Structure 1
């Protein structure tokens, strides 16, 4: 672009002899018109400003780029002083010289939006955004220059976007399509700096599907917001309905101005049933390419099914025959025995984890269901818990027992041989799904995984979408929920076992199911039901800033340290019901933490089986907001069974008073401030604490010390039974640490039938700070 003042031109004096020819009317008229044109030309030429010219690079710039819409921003002293928009690059003219100019051009305005087109506002307001990364994106080019006083300045544009081409070579008749996901795409470029951003609910993974007939298809993509390594998750579909899913690790993210190619070469398909996937990239116009390849087997023999080394399980059918059902493994942790040794052993390299088993068959449950379990080794005794279900096993010989699940409400049970709770067997049956979709006619917005193993690694659910994991399916990967009105359901298994389990002091792996990662405030209507979730590398189900949540009839098994089961953070109107949850860290926790800020309230937790291997079972807190912002209120926990809580965390506390570990816990410490938000209107009722381990503590209320009088009020415990056949568990207790508890009611809270405060299993530290009523 050339910069300089437009030269001023003075008008010549009008010929003084004109008065001599006034008698010639027509010539006078013509001369008058000429004068008007001269004056108009003078006015135009006397304007000062900048005419924009763009430099081009032959063989690099698209031929029609000059005809695209152009926008020019003029900056002076880090302030935008002028914005001009033109239909092409030949018409831009600005009156402000400034000290720096930035130009952007784009193929079309479709799917793009500007932050602002007005001068004089903050620099962060100037940006160009993609409305939806999963829709067609036009090419965007950008350039900037520093203005100098001399002639010869020029402005060259370079691409912001990249173009990805997909090719199929020697594609056989059996092949149908390739689908893949580009994760973490940016959706905004800042005008002042050229910085790429991923903001708001616009950011998402980009999903691309190319059929065999579309070979050679080109797609424009924005760069990735993170330039680090990523996983190219691909799915190859065959015409017979089979799919093959593979993941290729790419060391560097997609950057600005790259040519990208994905090709699938089937040259060896007829020989050995394989194809080769090639991903390569280069800077636009350059001949040097960087390539990554992966061979994929499309004709695989079915894997030999591994027999469970612990149990064989069968279910009696209506016709009198026994049907064997699949037995699955899940790691768990003997925390009291190994906690100090397994901390930071993220990949179980020390082999100190234990292996429980579970089955999750379907049955209509229109009558009691009879189960047969054969243990592969001999045993002396067996118990079926919860104890209150009253299920008695019968030894039928050959290390085999039989028992009956009496009704739907008592179908989830733990089978424990010789008191072993770390190699136990969980029975987790379900009813067939009456809303199971037709795999050949899926509704719009549904992502379906049928029987068999799948490894998508990452699944993104946008507004209104459904993930369905069918019975018999095992899906390995993280689920990211990036919209409202999202459902996860089915009868299959979601596993994090193939995701990286890493960390420093705490686990840093992926949150297995994460809603609202950007912590937006307008999310709602999230439902998850029916599935079993195992082996998360971090929190299992993370729900942030989301209202109207239904968590119904799921099972969670997680062994990793700080691997919570369900975390509700700044959530309003949620129900957690009919779930079995076994985790190393908190099974269910209600929070207001430094990332969520607003209140957590109106929560219902009912009819759940809770099994904590180390930290807490059900906990109100521990992060409890601040007294200047928000707290936790209006929560009911009812009809639950605490299956296990084995740890006396008081032993790790120097003061013996600052620990909140228990089967039922109310824990209050501030998140981001000096004093916690108030915890109020909490009810625990109709709960059984079922023979937890010797060092386990049934209940605790605990407030962090050195707060400015944090408050817990209006908490009721009603009809709570602590069952302890061996008379071995620890005492429940209240620890205010100088804070205040008011309106605390214990109504029919018993230890082996004795009122808790008369049982010898009860401690109140600083009773003067507690307003308590025993009934």
Structure 2
């Protein structure tokens, strides 16, 4: 735990570094703000990026090295891959110029594809403009890892003062706390300014009404970057996690938790993004995750976290799973005292990639209750899946996985999947598999499922002896009941 004296020294240091940060802010236009990268932070030279408000001078962005993972399917080892990350804030319109330094640009994609951003390309440089905040992946010459993750955020408001007694303030530069973990008291705000890097974890345990926010980075934390345990009314906003030695966010028995405008990268084994255990009234909004395990996972009991999960919303986000699932629901629970997951909403999501050779762990969206969990009342809406490397579109199984479970799940009930689109050629057949007549999948309705431009519906034109699911393609076993494909387009 950080001492009061440590906090005081942090505040004094932050007051000095705040002045340094203001001196490096964009001098020409308050609608554009860039942040210095501390010289101690690793960088990567594949990309050079300039930004400007229209008809003003170009301003360079500092590049950060983001470490990612590629699993070797022969050895099982995770091979560290290098990628680039940069960020800035703006309002109004911003022009962006990206130069790819290794070679000419033969192809360029700005993702998510749903944004419809088509750059002008000349030589090894591409240009485009933005009129609203966006989390982007700029992919050149079909490179999977040597790409640029560019976060164009909104101008911060209500920035706290460095000398506010309710604020633990980290200004531009490198910071750490004794013990490697900052324990946040109730009622406090931890603020990491743009250009600031904290190499310690942030922990909210048995607290309420506390916040972590800013434009800074949590880097190479000794374990997971952020933990929220047995706490309520916690806000995590605006920060980025790079290279944690654990999950980006672990939340257990949290109530009224909000995670917004959040970005995370990982490369280590078990490098999950956001894992929620037995949480309620939780909102995850406008995140970008590129992880070496599940990007977002929703579970019940595990470790010392117990209880049902309810009223959880994931929305307005982009997910890229270099390993495992973009979205995974249901694996962990309490066989001795069965728990329920009720009221999960997933909407307006772009799934950028999914690469998982293991059949048991495939699925851009996986609902796999084990440990006597019941998953019910799920809405998945307006999800766009781009062509991914390897896996399934959907995997829905009431399962018993002897590696992780002590009993099979109790079932999946009442799931609506509306306006799900997939464009691509690499998807394996989706699997819907109930465990038994009692532990079944019952009541899954697709509305406007579109695969490569074709609306999949029970009433579609097809041979009468074909199933609509054949056109996904999807396999559903005999313990999957009341599976419907409707069309309202």
* Bin of the TM-score, shorter chain as denominator length: 0.7 to 0.9
**Paired position in structure 2 for 1:119:** none
**Paired position in structure 2 for 1:496:** 220
**Paired position in structure 2 for 1:717:** 417
Q: Could you say if the C-alpha distance between residues 240 and 525 of structure 1 is closer, same or farther in structure 2, counting changes exceeding 3 Å?
A: closer
**Paired position in structure 1 for 2:164:** 443
Residue of structure 2 aligned with 1:662, choices 354, 359, 363: 363
* Count, aligned residues: 444
State the Cα distance separating 1:536 from its structure 2 match. 1.1
1:730 aligns with 2:466: no
* SS, match of residue 413 in structure 1: strand
- Per-residue CA deviations over 1:650-700 (Å, capped at 9, x if unaligned) read 1xxxxxxxx242111111110xxxxx121000010110001112x222211
* Distance in 1, Cα, partners of 2:346 & 2:157: 29
* Distance in 2, Cα, partners of 1:389 & 1:624: 38
State the Cα distance separating 1:465 from its structure 2 match. 1.1
* SS, match of residue 272 in structure 2: coil
**Paired position in structure 2 for 1:584:** 292
**Paired position in structure 1 for 2:175:** 454
State the Cα distance separating 1:382 from its structure 2 match. 1.3
**Paired position in structure 2 for 1:310:** 46
Q: Could you say if the C-alpha distance between residues 235 and 477 of structure 1 is closer, same or farther in structure 2, counting changes exceeding 3 Å?
A: same
Q: Does the 8 Å contact 2:433/2:441 carry over to 1?
A: no
Q: Does the 8 Å contact 1:478/1:513 carry over to 2?
A: yes
State the Cα distance separating 1:404 from its structure 2 match. 2.1
* Distance in 2, Cα, partners of 1:406 & 1:759: 42
* SS, match of residue 392 in structure 2: coil
1:372 aligns with 2:93: no
Q: Could you say if the C-alpha distance between residues 635 and 356 of structure 1 is closer, same or farther in structure 2, counting changes exceeding 3 Å?
A: same
- Per-residue CA deviations over 1:262-305 (Å, capped at 9, x if unaligned) read xxxxxxxxxxxxxxxxxxxxxxxxxxxxxxxxxxxxxxxx9599
State the Cα distance separating 1:306 from its structure 2 match. 7.3
Q: Return 5+ residue gaps in structure 1 as ranges.
A: 1-182, 184-204, 212-233, 244-301, 346-351, 500-509, 651-658, 671-675
**Paired position in structure 2 for 1:464:** 187
1:386 aligns with 2:87: no
1:400 aligns with 2:125: yes
* SS, match of residue 329 in structure 2: strand
Residue of structure 1 aligned with 2:82, choices 348, 355, 362: 355
State the Cα distance separating 1:438 from its structure 2 match. 2.6
1:328 aligns with 2:64: yes
* Distance in 1, Cα, partners of 2:471 & 2:327: 24
Q: Does the 8 Å contact 1:315/1:372 carry over to 2?
A: yes
- Per-residue CA deviations over 1:682-734 (Å, capped at 9, x if unaligned) read 010110001112x222211012149567211001111100111xx23222221
* SS, match of residue 208 in structure 2: coil
Q: Does the 8 Å contact 1:660/1:667 carry over to 2?
A: no
* SS, match of residue 388 in structure 1: helix
State the Cα distance separating 1:393 from its structure 2 match. 1.5
**Paired position in structure 2 for 1:568:** 276
* SS, match of residue 429 in structure 1: strand
State the Cα distance separating 1:626 from its structure 2 match. 4.1
**Paired position in structure 2 for 1:700:** 395
Residue of structure 2 aligned with 1:531, choices 236, 239, 247: 239
Q: Could you say if the C-alpha distance between residues 381 and 708 of structure 1 is closer, same or farther in structure 2, counting changes exceeding 3 Å?
A: closer
State the Cα distance separating 1:735 from its structure 2 match. 2.0
State the Cα distance separating 1:567 from its structure 2 match. 1.1
Indicate the structure (1 or 2) with the bigger Cα radius of gyration.
1
**Paired position in structure 1 for 2:480:** 769
Q: Could you say if the C-alpha distance between residues 627 and 677 of structure 1 is closer, same or farther in structure 2, counting changes exceeding 3 Å?
A: farther
Q: Does the 8 Å contact 1:485/1:526 carry over to 2?
A: yes
Once the two structures are superposed, the pairs formed by residues 195-210 of structure 1 within 5 Å of their partners are 205-208=2-5
Q: Could you say if the C-alpha distance between residues 323 and 763 of structure 1 is closer, same or farther in structure 2, counting changes exceeding 3 Å?
A: same
Q: Could you say if the C-alpha distance between residues 621 and 340 of structure 1 is closer, same or farther in structure 2, counting changes exceeding 3 Å?
A: farther
* Distance in 1, Cα, partners of 2:241 & 2:294: 15
* SS, match of residue 576 in structure 1: strand
Q: Could you say if the C-alpha distance between residues 353 and 342 of structure 1 is closer, same or farther in structure 2, counting changes exceeding 3 Å?
A: farther
State the Cα distance separating 1:450 from its structure 2 match. 0.6
- Kindly indicate whether structure 1 or structure 2 has the higher relative contact order, using CA contacts under 8 Å at least 6 residues apart: 2
Q: Could you say if the C-alpha distance between residues 242 and 642 of structure 1 is closer, same or farther in structure 2, counting changes exceeding 3 Å?
A: closer
* Distance in 1, Cα, partners of 2:57 & 2:409: 65
Q: Could you say if the C-alpha distance between residues 242 and 720 of structure 1 is closer, same or farther in structure 2, counting changes exceeding 3 Å?
A: closer
**Paired position in structure 2 for 1:744:** 444
**Paired position in structure 2 for 1:474:** 197
Q: Does the 8 Å contact 1:731/1:760 carry over to 2?
A: no
* Distance in 2, Cα, partners of 1:309 & 1:485: 41
1:486 aligns with 2:194: no
Q: Could you say if the C-alpha distance between residues 447 and 236 of structure 1 is closer, same or farther in structure 2, counting changes exceeding 3 Å?
A: closer
Q: CA RMSD in A?
A: 2.5
* Distance in 2, Cα, partners of 1:444 & 1:716: 47
Once the two structures are superposed, the pairs formed by residues 137-152 of structure 1 within 5 Å of their partners are none
Q: Does the 8 Å contact 1:747/1:774 carry over to 2?
A: yes
**Paired position in structure 1 for 2:228:** 515
TM-score (normalised: structure 1): 0.54
TM-score (normalised: structure 2): 0.85
* Distance in 1, Cα, partners of 2:51 & 2:454: 40
* Greater shift in the superposed pair: 451-460 or 419-428: 451-460
* SS, match of residue 479 in structure 1: strand
Q: Does the 8 Å contact 1:330/1:355 carry over to 2?
A: yes
* Distance in 2, Cα, partners of 1:712 & 1:604: 18
Q: Could you say if the C-alpha distance between residues 690 and 208 of structure 1 is closer, same or farther in structure 2, counting changes exceeding 3 Å?
A: same
* Distance in 2, Cα, partners of 1:702 & 1:569: 20
- Per-residue CA deviations over 1:81-116 (Å, capped at 9, x if unaligned) read xxxxxxxxxxxxxxxxxxxxxxxxxxxxxxxxxxxx
* Greater shift in the superposed pair: 755-764 or 375-384: 755-764
* Distance in 1, Cα, partners of 2:482 & 2:161: 58
1:677 aligns with 2:386: no
